[in-house]
């Protein structure tokens, strides 16, 4: 066999090598197992908490045909962040920390291809995890709560959840590439997540500056659909794309009313303004896309320029 026949310059061959490298990295390092355990733990909590509460109150478990959809879109907040941390925290910085970046970067694959391969591998892991999670939730809901409605909307919930998680993945990748430290990436992103979660809640509910939150990643401003009660409140930020997507499909004419809590001695709910759910949804998807692209660009740029000193 001649040298020419042995080698080719196929982009797909080199790219698939990078994806395989990254997938094996994740699976063999038990990260994948860890993330599946986290997913199942969250899903199980969502399924069994109502059962436990029913038992405590001595009420029979009510049939709930919307259980699968409501829990399927409800991973949110901490769940998205945890998945992102597990997937992204050492994808690039881990290579620098362990020294494996040296042989990797000296192979005839461009840094852009390595970056894209690693991103695709993260996507595959997230997609697999969420798919398993939603299947588990659906089956669990049918077993515990009876026949389920709107199961066809779960793929939409899957897409929404992936978009929401990818903001955090992109952010963690950016911090890890800039700092070349997995610990810094996890702690830095946790600080941002915590700051946004606490800050968003305060700003959203206690001030009139809710519009600021429309352009930040996370839970966003709080509002309600229809009349104000705990069951109808919605978050409008990038963490809620999945639930807002499903709500919009089920109720296309829904409007979101933003509110402020104030007054003394008791809380007074003051409606601020109202806008269509469609607008909320489109805006959160655009904001998510912008953040994903921005963080990915920072990460790619830093990776492209990174020097290997050690």
- What does the binding site for another protein look like in residue numbers (CB under 8 A)? 1, 3, 5-10, 13-14, 16-18, 20-21, 24-25, 28-29, 98-100, 102-103, 105-113, 304, 307-309
- 196, 217 Cβ separation under 8 angstroms: yes
Nearer to another protein, 9 or 59 (CB): 9
Considering only CA atoms, which of 262, 267, 97 is closest in space to residue 184? 97
Shortest spacing between CB 117 and another protein, in angstroms: 10
Residues in Cβ contact with 171 at an 8 Å cutoff, skipping those fewer than 6 apart:
84, 189, 192, 217, 291, 295
Shortest spacing between CB 133 and another protein, in angstroms: 25
Shortest spacing between CB 181 and another protein, in angstroms: 17
Nearer to another protein, 11 or 273 (CB): 11
Nearer to another protein, 106 or 253 (CB): 106
Tokens 């994903």 — which residue?
A: 292
DSSP β-bridge partners for residue 256? 225, 275
Nearer to another protein, 119 or 161 (CB): 119
Give the separation between CA 60 and CA 17, rounded to whole angstroms. 54
Classify residue 113 as exposed, middle or buried by CB count within 10 Å of its CB (0-12, 13-18, 19+). Answer: middle
Shortest spacing between CB 306 and another protein, in angstroms: 9
Shortest spacing between CB 122 and another protein, in angstroms: 17
The distance from CA 194 to its chain's CA centroid, rounded to whole angstroms, is: 15
Nearer to another protein, 106 or 229 (CB): 106
Shortest spacing between CB 4 and another protein, in angstroms: 11
Nearer to another protein, 164 or 176 (CB): 176
What are the distances in angstroms from CA 228 to CA 13, 67, 147, 175, 240?
Answer: 56, 22, 29, 39, 18
């Amino acid at each position: 066999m001649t040298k020419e026949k042995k080698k080719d310059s196929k982009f797909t061959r080199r790219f698939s090598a990078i994806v395989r490298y990254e997938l094996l990295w994740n699976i063999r390092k038990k990260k994948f197992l860890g993330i599946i355990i986290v997913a199942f733990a969250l899903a199980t909590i969502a399924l069994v908490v109502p059962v436990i509460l029913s038992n405590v109150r001595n009420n029979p478990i009510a049939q709930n045909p919307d259980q699968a959809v409501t829990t399927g879109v409800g991973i949110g907040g901490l769940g998205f962040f945890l998945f992102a941390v597990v997937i992204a925290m050492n994808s690039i910085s881990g290579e620098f920390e362990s020294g494996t970046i040296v042989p990797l970067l000296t192979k005839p694959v461009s840094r852009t291809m390595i970056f894209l391969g690693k991103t695709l591998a993260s996507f595959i892991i997230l997609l697999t995890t969420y798919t398993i999670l939603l299947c588990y939730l659906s089956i669990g809901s049918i077993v515990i709560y009876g026949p389920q409605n709107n199961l066809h909307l779960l793929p939409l919930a899957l897409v929404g959840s992936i978009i929401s998680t990818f903001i955090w993945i992109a952010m963690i990748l950016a911090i890890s590439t800039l700092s070349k430290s997995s610990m810094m990436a996890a702690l830095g992103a946790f600080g941002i997540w915590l700051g946004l979660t606490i800050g968003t809640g305060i700003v959203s509910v206690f001030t009139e500056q809710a519009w600021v939150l429309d352009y930040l990643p996370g839970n966003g401003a709080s509002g309600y659909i229809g009349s104000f009660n705990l069951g109808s409140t919605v978050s409008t930020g990038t963490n809620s794309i999945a639930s807002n997507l499903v709500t919009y499909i089920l109720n296309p004419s829904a409007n979101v009313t933003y509110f402020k809590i104030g007054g003394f001695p008791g809380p007074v709910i003051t409606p601020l303004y109202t806008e269509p759910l469609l607008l909320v949804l489109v805006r959160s998807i655009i904001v998510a896309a912008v953040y994903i692209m921005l963080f990915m660009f920072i990460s790619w740029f830093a990776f492209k320029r990174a020097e290997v000193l050690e």
